[in-house]
Structure 1
Amino acid sequence: MKTLQRVAILGGSRIPFARQNTNYVNTSNTEMLTAALKGVVNKFKLEGERLGEVAAGAVLKHSRDANISREAALDSGLSPSTPAYDVQQACATSLQTTISVGNKIALGQIEVGIAGGVDSSSDAPVALNEKLRQLLLKFNRSKTRSERFGVITEIRPDMFAPSIPNINERRTGLSMGEHCELMVKRWKITREAQDELALASHLNGAKAYQEGFYDDLIMPFQGLNRDNNLRADTSAEKLAKLKPAFDKTSGQGTLTAGNSTPLTDGAAAVLLSSESWAKAHGFEPQAWLIDAESAAVDFFGPHPEGLLMAPAHAVPRLLARNGLTLQDFDFYEIHEAFAGQVLCTLAAWESSEYCKNTLGLKAALGAIDRSKLNVKGGSVGLGHPFAATGARILATAAKNLAEHRAKTGQSGRTLISMCTAGGLGVTAIIEG
């Protein structure tokens, strides 16, 4: 029986993230993912190489993009003999592709692979009205001219209104922002606390750019060389002036456009390998993928949990399996779907009642050092193309650990936590 291999994170590449309907308004998911893959191929000189696999995906996906990973891989410069496939797990898509590729490397099934993700809110798939779609299918099944004519007579003008995609939860009809409003009210998270975290997201990201941290992580694309949502000049005063975005009528809404992630376009990818492959090709791993854990919560039953609280459940199991406490980390990368969602998760871990009664723990997990949280910027500041954010976080965290090691001479550890639609959460530990 083979022993498990260590999974090396060699580095990543992404295109700058762009707010919806700005720089990438006429750019497809396939084009953006191809650019991110090319960034990895060029960075690690993989032209013509056959890799074990490429795994990526998108949340907002056209039917024509049945396997965008394969199409992008074929245009990336890799050997056409490199397999590729799509994955979709909402906002955790490219963290899940990383785990999938990493698990195959650990088992010795492959030696090297690329994981990534892409999403375009600007080029979202617009579908036919459902009634019109059903009539067109009925027309196609018709055998005679009279049957077809009968179908045509059923068409009504209102059927030509397009079906616009949304990401509201099917079981509740509520948007993610509306669900998060329920969460922050339950956990008594203030508007000021949310704005404070949002401000740090922007300022940490701006500082990282100023220090050159992103110089080799981001490749210019479509006239853009940095994330265009990032606001180095924002302030607590400016954020405080914004109106509620989801609860506009009760007078108690605290989620705004400033402390929530914007609809964003972008793509990201990361290169993973076995230790032996990295050594044979002369690459120094930035970090190691240690372990991962997923969770799901019941957000619609008689005693619903908050939609975005699944990471609060996943992390304790991950910690227990690895003999760690919540404080045993040098850095924390918690995806900021909303600033309020991050604060709800942190409050849950600090709550003895929640940890005992809901998570089944003996005591609270405790607080984290906030100065170690999203130190290179978070999703609120940098933007959030749904399926691309996991790879963005992983590549950032791995490089940050490599720099930490170079500066201190000590290895470090990062906890990654991502919430997703559907009441899901995916978490991981990396070391380097």
Structure 2
Amino acid sequence: MKKVAIIGGLRIPFVKSFKEYNHISNQEMLTFCLNGLVEKYGLAGKRLGEVALGALLNRSTDWNFARECVLGTALDPHTPGYSVLRACGTSLDTTIQLGLRIACGQIDTAISGGSDTNSDIPLLFQQHLAWKLADLRAAKTFSQRLKIIASIRLKDLKPLYPSIVEPRTGLSMGQHTEKMVKEWGITREEQDALAYRSHMNAAKAYGEGFFSDLLLPFKGVKKDTIIRADTTPEKLAALKPAFDFSGNGSLTAGNSTLYTDGASALLMASEEYAQQQNWPVLAHLVDAETAAVDYVNGEGLLMAPTYAVARMLKRNHLKLQDFDIYEIHEAFSGQVLCTLKAWEDAAYCKKLGWEAPLGSIDRSKLNTKGGSVAIGHPFAATGTRILAQTAKILQQRGSGRALISICTAGGMGVVAILER
């Protein structure tokens, strides 16, 4: 098996939806990121082994999304591309899939990535109207057409807006997380404290220039716009609940991710190919795992990474404490805290196949350059954002091992190990 090298990643600044990137498509954002990698690593005119990309909120006309993004770049058009979708874990999953192909020697180079925007949201017709319009197109006579047109009602004209709710429960991710934090006894103060630390870590990283070679200015935006260097525990505590209005809610706009627009991409290669190209290797993708939970019957919607990490640790003969960096996607501060508390619980870890608790982690090693609550979360772009960020941290350290964990809609989780 060949070693899978992380060469580097680029992203555009992440911004709050319906603002700076209004009416800009996923394809435009992600193609821009790809061209940034092409320019940075001298890939113009070269055929890569594969490109895998994804987006959740995509237009139905973008059925060949990844391939169209590739054709918009300076890459050799013989470079293939395919689309992937696993909710918030999409671009981590694209990286894992491509990493496996590099490891077994099928390809030498690849680009993974993802993009999402709420500001170019695809609106849908009511299904009844869609059927009627299809029938109208197929009608052979004027009287048939007139009859179909006469059957259209005002209620048929109401558009359908994509909604981030679980189809099997009708609950949003935030509402599911409210149930989780109540089950695990996570307080509002704990959630706000983690959110505050996320903003402070991200602001400090900006001050140190950490993001300077990870970001591509786009549409006049030069830095992430959601990070709040001036937030305080008091400001966070003053915010009202965002998902539970009964007076018992603890999730707010301050300790949850905001709707975000953005895109990111990552260049990978085999160790041998990287050496041939004189590309410095930031880190190596060592292993990965996916999992799912039965959230319909009571398990926490965003708890699947607890299972995935437990399996991955056992396979690699590692303990939870055997990491120098922990990058846990902050869909909500409460979700991160539930995950950490579950790993400390003996009864829960028995369900994960461990005879004892996985234990606690050193919180000073968690999301040290800021997490999704501060930086933002364009769903399919988060995985490669975290990968590039983590690989750079390892490169700066000179050595180390990192755990990456991402929860997703549908009660799934995607996790990975990076090493240098």
* Structure 1 contact 264–384 (Cα < 8 Å) conserved: yes
Amino acid at match of 1:368: I
**2:166 alignment counterpart:** 169
User: Normalising by the residue count of structure 1, what TM-score does the alignment of the two structures yield?
Assistant: 0.96
Alignment of 1:315 with 2:328, yes or no, is no
Q: For residues 131 and 404 of structure 2, what CA distance do their matches in structure 1 show?
A: 43
CA positional deviation for 1:145: 2.5
* Structure 2 contact 310–353 (Cα < 8 Å) conserved: no
Q: For residues 43 and 368 of structure 1, what CA distance do their matches in structure 2 show?
A: 36
My pick for the range that moved more, 140-149 or 190-199, is 140-149
* Structure 1 contact 130–163 (Cα < 8 Å) conserved: no
CA positional deviation for 1:86: 0.6
CA positional deviation for 1:121: 1.0
CA positional deviation for 1:360: 2.9
**1:383 alignment counterpart:** 376
TM alignment of 1:80-95, pairs within 5 A? 80-95=77-92
**1:426 alignment counterpart:** 414
Q: For residues 159 and 3 of structure 2, what CA distance do their matches in structure 1 show?
A: 49
Q: How many pairs were matched up? A: 420
Deviations 1:351-380 (A, max 9, x none): 111112x22320100000000000011000
**2:140 alignment counterpart:** 143
Work out which of the residue numbers 267, 280, 284 in structure 1 matches 2:280.
284
Deviations 1:126-166 (A, max 9, x none): 11122211211222233333222221111111211111111
Q: For residues 150 and 217 of structure 2, what CA distance do their matches in structure 1 show?
A: 52
Deviations 1:88-113 (A, max 9, x none): 10000000000011111001110000
Deviations 1:254-313 (A, max 9, x none): 000000000000000000000110000001210000000000000012xx1000000011
**1:400 alignment counterpart:** 393
Q: For residues 76 and 18 of structure 1, what CA distance do their matches in structure 2 show?
A: 23
Residue 257 of structure 2 aligns to a residue whose secondary structure is coil
Alignment of 1:125 with 2:122, yes or no, is yes
**1:58 alignment counterpart:** 55
Runs of 5+ unmatched residues, structure 1: 406-410
Work out which of the residue numbers 326, 329, 332 in structure 2 matches 1:335.
329
Q: For residues 344 and 37 of structure 2, what CA distance do their matches in structure 1 show?
A: 39
* Structure 1 contact 8–272 (Cα < 8 Å) conserved: yes
Work out which of the residue numbers 416, 419, 422 in structure 1 matches 2:404.
416
Q: For residues 222 and 26 of structure 1, what CA distance do their matches in structure 2 show?
A: 12
Amino acid at match of 1:13: L
Q: For residues 216 and 147 of structure 2, what CA distance do their matches in structure 1 show?
A: 55
Q: For residues 154 and 75 of structure 1, what CA distance do their matches in structure 2 show?
A: 43
**1:256 alignment counterpart:** 252
**1:408 alignment counterpart:** none
Q: For residues 95 and 207 of structure 2, what CA distance do their matches in structure 1 show?
A: 28
CA positional deviation for 1:43: 1.4
Amino acid at match of 2:359: G
**1:111 alignment counterpart:** 108
State the identity %.
Answer: 58
Q: For residues 130 and 248 of structure 1, what CA distance do their matches in structure 2 show?
A: 32
Amino acid at match of 1:240: A
CA positional deviation for 1:75: 1.8
Amino acid at match of 1:79: D
Alignment of 1:300 with 2:267, yes or no, is no
Q: For residues 276 and 339 of structure 1, what CA distance do their matches in structure 2 show?
A: 40
My pick for the range that moved more, 47-56 or 141-150, is 141-150
Amino acid at match of 1:216: D
Runs of 5+ unmatched residues, structure 2: none
Amino acid at match of 1:363: A
Work out which of the residue numbers 331, 343, 348 in structure 2 matches 1:349.
343
**2:360 alignment counterpart:** 367
